[in-house]
Amino acid sequence: MAANTDNPTGADSAALAPSGPPATSSGADSVALAGQAPPDDGSVAAGVTGVVRSALDAAAKAGTISVSGLTETLERAARSLSRRVVDDAESRRPPIADRTALAKALATRPPAPALAGATAAALVLRFARRFKPLKGLVTRSPIWLVAAAVPALVASVTRGADELGMVASYLIHRARAAGVEPDLERVRRAAVQIVSHMPLDPEVDPSHGNLAFGWLKRAARAALPFTAGVATADPEGLAEAASGFDPTLLAPR
């Protein structure tokens, strides 16, 4: 299936998303903040960039935007990313065959972003000079906090995409094992509901802004010392929810 070409942030998005081995991650562990970004190529990495860029846009409005306003800001970019992730899970990600394999994959600690210390500070400042809304944020915040928050945000969104991809891969495999060729839009809805801890109903299109807001909260925690980083909080619970879902509900309607 061809990659989704939704482009919520335009062709001049900063290249924030990392890249990694497709067999284990739809995201990555390195970050490029500086320089002119290439056009959106419809990839998962570009979708991660879109969510991060939307979050940074919202961060520039800190103090003037509500939680509901933030989730609305993130909705389109997160929805675009989720479609790319499910397309990737169907066409490129190795299938996850059973509940145990899914729980193990979700429990695997993701790699840390390859951006830290003085290098991070320099790149964040360079990015801030290009991205004018962040200038005030940088001048009002301790540089260590900004330098830590940006890679933590990239890592959290990347991990969120990986979690979604793992669950989608498992659902697709279960549907096909049951003799059903799944509708990828229904897979997307179910996968988002599972990782968001929502009631499962593929007839209902869930909020993607709320999902992305959860990634932001995880990034905020991960930027602080002595935390668990962006590791998946409840791999067993997510695997249990996915295994309890009736895969025949993924058939096209």
State mean pLDDT over 67-77: 84
CA angle (41 as vertex; 38, 44 as ends), nearest 5: 110
- Tell me the CB-side half-sphere exposure of residue 119, using CA atoms within 13 A: 9
Per-residue pLDDT reduced to its tens digit, 173-201:
999 999 999 999 999 999 999 999 999 99
What is the rounded distance in angstroms from the CA atom of residue 73 to the CA atom of residue 55?
A: 8
> Which pLDDT belongs to residue 148?
56
Residue 120 has pLDDT above 90, yes or no: no
What pTM does this model have? Answer: 0.73
Average pLDDT over all residues of the chain:
76
> Which pLDDT belongs to residue 133?
46
Instruction: Count CB-CB contacts under 10 A for residue 207.
Output: 18
Two structure tokens written together for 45: 């990495």
Q: Which amino acid is at 93?
A: R
Q: Are 206 and 82 in contact (CB under 8 A)?
A: no
**Nearest Cα to 88, choosing from 8, 14, 19?**
19
Instruction: Count CB-CB contacts under 10 A for residue 178.
Output: 13
Q: Cα-flanking dihedrals φ and ψ of residue 33, to 5°? A: -105, -25
- Most confident stretch, 15-29, 104-118, 147-161: 147-161
Per-residue pLDDT reduced to its tens digit, 34-53:
344 446 778 998 898 888 88
Domain ranges for the chain, please list them. 44-250
**Nearest Cα to 107, choosing from 151, 169, 156, 163?**
163
